[in-house]
Structure 1
Amino acid sequence: MRIGELAKRSGLSASRIRFYEASGLITSARKANGYRDYAAQALWTLQIITSAQGAGFSLDEIRQLLPASPEGWQHEQLLAGLKRKVAEIEVLQKQLEQNRAQLLVAIDSIENRPEDRACTDNARMLMERLLEQQAT
């Protein structure tokens, strides 16, 4: 199929498809007239790429996991890649929760600042408190 049809069926722009091709994630054959011709497998591959990116995989990670053909999945390699991504997400979640907690402390300190304390002094105290928390 030509790139216009593949773009329509995949919901991706033609430039995005060309980018994935230039990145080595999909392939096409060139017809005599110079047009790209994509196999039906290209649509399947684009759907996997889109889903994997939505799950947080980089293009390099996707490239390592994608089989050369739909029948070429390597069970252990795929499973290890998915587990590795889950572990990375868990680390990110922990970091985000710590960031959230720090922001909530900052909000609380600002909202409940004693009226007799200047905002600058309150900010200084807050920063010292946050730095102490980071050190522990």
Structure 2
Amino acid sequence: MKIGELAKISGLAPSRIRFYEASGLIKSVGRKANGYRDYAPETEWILQIITGAQSAGFSLEEIRQLLPVNAQDWQHEEMLVGLKRKVEEIEILQQRLAHNKAQLLRVIHGIESKPADVGCADNAQLLISQIREEKAATGK
């Protein structure tokens, strides 16, 4: 299959496909006598796996480690370990984001409920002190 056809089917730009090939994520392909790349049929679903994994937060290096060298050599246990590791990383990130969101909401509330007789700079110092005290108390 030519790169234009693969690009149309996959929805990826030919330059992106060439990038994945140069990065070793898809097999280097043979060239026809006219110089056109000739991609194997399984390249389409490998590209779907790559783009899906990227949208799930996997780096190209992580994807490279999970992908088989060829379509018949899937490493079941290695793939499970890699997928579970990514889920753990996502859970840690979610906890961190939830903490950051809560902290921002407290700051917003502190700004919105500022007493009329307290200046913005003084209120900011008060909020910063509260954040520092919380950080010291929780270790976060």
Task: Return the TM-score normalized by structure 1.
Answer: 0.96
Aligned residue-pair number: 136
Task: Judge which range, 84-93 or 30-39, deviates more.
Answer: 30-39
TM-fit CA distance, 1:127: 1.4
Inter-partner Cα distance in structure 2 for 1:94 and 1:71: 38
Inter-partner Cα distance in structure 1 for 2:71 and 2:46: 9
TM-fit CA distance, 1:4: 0.6
1:21 maps to 2:21: yes
Inter-partner Cα distance in structure 1 for 2:88 and 2:128: 31
Aligned partner of residue 46 in structure 1, secondary structure: helix
1:129 maps to 2:130: yes
Identity %: 63
Q: Which runs of 5+ in 2 are unaligned?
A: none
1:3 maps to 2:3: yes
Match of 1:87 in 2: 88
Inter-partner Cα distance in structure 1 for 2:87 and 2:120: 42
Aligned partner of residue 42 in structure 2, secondary structure: helix
Match of 2:12 in 1: 12
Match of 1:61 in 2: 62
Residues 43-122 of structure 1 mapped to structure 2, 5 A cutoff: 43-122=44-123
Q: Deviations over 1:75-121 (max 9, x none)?
A: 11011001100000010000000100110100100010000000111
Inter-partner Cα distance in structure 2 for 1:25 and 1:90: 27
The one-letter code of the counterpart of 2:21 is E
Runs of 4 or more consecutive aligned structure 1 residues displaced over 4 Å after TM superposition:
none
The one-letter code of the counterpart of 1:93 is Q
TM-fit CA distance, 1:35: 1.3
Inter-partner Cα distance in structure 1 for 2:131 and 2:15: 45
TM-fit CA distance, 1:133: 2.2
Aligned partner of residue 68 in structure 1, secondary structure: coil
RMSD of aligned Cα (Å): 1.0
The one-letter code of the counterpart of 1:39 is A
Task: Return the TM-score normalized by structure 2.
Answer: 0.93
Inter-partner Cα distance in structure 1 for 2:84 and 2:134: 31
The one-letter code of the counterpart of 1:60 is E
